[in-house]
Amino acid sequence: MNRLNCAARLMLVSDLDYTMVDHDDPHNGALHRFNSLWEAYYRHDSLLVFSTGRSPTSYTKLRNEKPLLTPDITVMSVGTEIAYGDSMVPDYDWERSLNHKWDREIVTDETAKFPELVFQSETEQRPHKVSFFVDKAKAPQIINLLQARLVARGLDIKIIYSGGEALDVLPRGAGKGQALAYLLKKFQADDKYPINTLVCGDSGNDAELFTVPGVYGVMVSNAQEELLEWHAQNAKNNENIIHASERCAAGIMQAIGHFDLGPSSSPRDAIDLSQCMTENMNPGFEIVKFYLSCERWRRGDVTKSGDFFQNLKSHFHPSGIFVHPSGVQKCFDECLTALENSYGNEKGCGFWLWLDRISSAQIGSDTWLVKFDKWEQSGEERRCCLTTVLLNSKADGYTWMHIHQTWMNGYTADGPGNWLF
């Protein structure tokens, strides 16, 4: 269930809508900052868990719209579905355990008697989740009545209200909190209990995450009234839960800093990236730093100085080779010239470069094989290259020896495309 061979340094469990993803920020600024932080400092020894109310279908849709990282574990449909890894292997044991005193038909039968309950789209109706919209003012009364009627018919369920509009009926054993408790129990059995766990949320269905024993929690600044109210009534004195002053992913980073769980300032916030160099010798950080410099260069965000480019160039071995996704290969020198000439080409184009799934293996005393997805977005268009890099570590940093890329997600270019690594 987990690619790490020891306990995670940090298990970060985050809701998506209005927690990881700020739908009010079309540039996804905080999300990009979080992504760089995670890939540079956490990916290699920590676990990223997304816990969303969305069904697999609407989760996939969000992934196609937003620059979300690939999580290690995905908890969907308000804790009723759990999937592991990049290929999202479902946890059928978990789903089976939710059948206890649950009968979907009885739920639809009873809810049909409430004309105020408006059925959500078909994609959001799942084997262990029946979902509606209901007016905020009417919600409390309906919840009480519906609960009583379902219990009277022999079911053991819970009703969760979120975002001031959504009502979910689930088996009592389900929910984001129960799903997290289940995962933690599995880690415990494997002797891989995470050193720290941070849960992050903004709305009603996230409340139970904060009740899991031993976790740190952050309610992002933009949290919904129903979550803040729940907190005031149930967890006011818990010092391990904060209400951030920052929105969404920025609030998550704030909490990492507040609870001292590890590095909390994103490489994107460093004006001079070479400054962070010596304290963080990890291949992931090297990769993040290089591509961030490329982004700044191509956007024209840095002043066009020989120093900046010389510094980039100094990390490349003079006889290194770049194998382009088209299969054509060129020496680093030629590609670096192309990169140098690309200064400011993406200015004002909404250009972003980000990395996902960085993994590295030490294959010799000073040699690392690093693999990652390199994403590039310009305006509305985005594309991804699976990239492999051979790095040589020196006392003061890394030397890039070889780069090989392959198009991903069905993307192929007609021509050779660009040569900018």
**Which span (18-26, 153-161, 249-257, 409-417) binds Mg ion, by CB under 5 A?**
18-26
- Give the count of residues interacting with Mg ion (CB under 5 A): 5
**Least Cβ distance, residue 205 to Mg ion (angstroms):** 7
The footprint of ligand GLC on residues 309-348 (CB under 6 A) is: none
Residue 162 found at the interface with ligand GLC (CB under 6 A): yes
**Residue 208 contact, options ligand GLC, Mg ion, none, Cβ 5-8 Å cut-off depending on partner type:** none
Residues in contact with ligand GLC, total (CB under 6 A)? 11
Reduce the secondary structure of the chain to three states and give it as a string. Answer: CCCCCCCCCEEEEECCECCCECCCCCCCHHHHHHHHHHHHHHCCCCEEEEECCCCHHHHHHHHHHCCCCCCCEEEECCCCEEEECCCCEECHHHHHHCCCCCCHHHHHHHHCCCCCCEECCHHHCECCEEEEECCCCCHHHHHHHHHHHHHHCCCCEEEEEECCCEEEEEECCCCHHHHHHHHHHHHHHCCCCCCEEEEEECCHHHHHHHHCCCCEEEECCCCCHHHHHHHHHHCCCCCCEEECCCCHHHHHHHHHHHCCCCCCCCHHHCCCHHHHCCCCCCHHHHHHHHHHHHHHHHHCCCCCCHHHHHHHHCCEEEEEEEECCCCCEEEHHHHHHHHHHCCCCCCCCCEEEEEEEEEEEEEECCEEEEEEEEEEEECCEEEEEEEEEEEEEECCEEEEEEEEEEECCCCCCCCCCCCCC
Q: Residue 202, interface with ligand GLC (CB under 6 A)?
A: no
Q: Which of 72, 110, 202, 373 binds Mg ion (CB under 5 A)?
A: 202
Nearer to ligand GLC, 226 or 346 (CB): 226
Q: Which does 196 bind (CB under 5 to 8 A by kind): ligand GLC, Mg ion, none?
A: none
**Nearer of residues 158 and 299 to Mg ion, judged by Cβ:** 158
98 vs 248, beta carbon nearer Mg ion: 248
**Partner that binds at residue 131, options Mg ion, ligand GLC, none, CB closer than 5 to 8 Å by kind:** ligand GLC
List the interface residues with ligand GLC, window 34-93 (CB under 6 A).
Answer: 53-54, 58, 78
Among 203, 211, 387, 405, binds Mg ion (CB under 5 A): 203
Give residues in contact with ligand GLC (CB under 6 A): 53-54, 58, 78, 120, 124, 131, 162, 166, 168, 205
